[in-house]
Amino acid sequence: MRVLFIAATLLAAAPALAGAPASNAVLADASRAPAGRTIIDGAAWSCEGATCTATGGANQPAARACRRVAARFGPVTAFTYKGVELSADQLATCNA
């Protein structure tokens, strides 16, 4: 009985996890993209070409997450962290 309760709880949580806001970055220089997975503040970043996506991550403002990614991967041309997309002005600050 307990196993069924745990299984039902996990199945009920699955849609919430699937709908988690996305985090992604577009790098200005694809050659700076890391090979494999890179963890930054708890977010697991993976890149394909200049486009990087992440799962997880610390509870922090998108602007701070952007600065941390730009410090490791180089300047970004677009950045969204947990569903919050940065404006052009915010991207300029991120890349400074």
Cβ partners under 8 Å of residue 36, min gap 6: 46
| Chain segment 80-92, per-residue pLDDT in tens | 999 999 999 999 9
Q: pTM for the full model?
A: 0.78
Angstrom distance (rounded) from CA 67 to CA 77: 12
**With 50 as the cut, is the pLDDT of residue 6 above it?**
no
| Chain segment 27-79, per-residue pLDDT in tens | 999 999 999 999 999 999 999 999 999 999 999 999 999 999 999 999 999 99
